[in-house]
Amino acid sequence: MLDASRLCWLCGHDGAADVDHEPALQILEALGLDPCDPQYLRPAHGVNGCPTCGRKCNQAKGNKPGRPASPTSRAW
């Protein structure tokens, strides 16, 4: 997973060294899905934090769903 990209899917900055489950690990397990399946893994900053913004993205997200879609500059 991290060989393909180190761009954190939560803050968008480089240097992600951990993986985040999307949907959350508990949801994957409750649905009987394999949490190690690469389609459910996303690069994220962990306990060491993002070198750019300092955020511990994976810990800040916790069990919540991932980031919402970015708003556009105008209604389409």
What's this model's pTM, rounded to 2 decimal places? 0.78
Question: What is the pLDDT, as a whole number, of residue 68?
Answer: 53
- Angle among Cα 48, 8, 47 to the nearest 5 degrees reads 15
pLDDT in tens, 5-27: 899 999 999 999 999 999 999 99
> What residue has token string 């180190």?
6
Closest CA to 9 of 66, 69, 56: 66
> So where are the chain's domains?
1-64
- Counted residue by residue, the chain has a size of 76
More confident residue, 62 or 34: 34
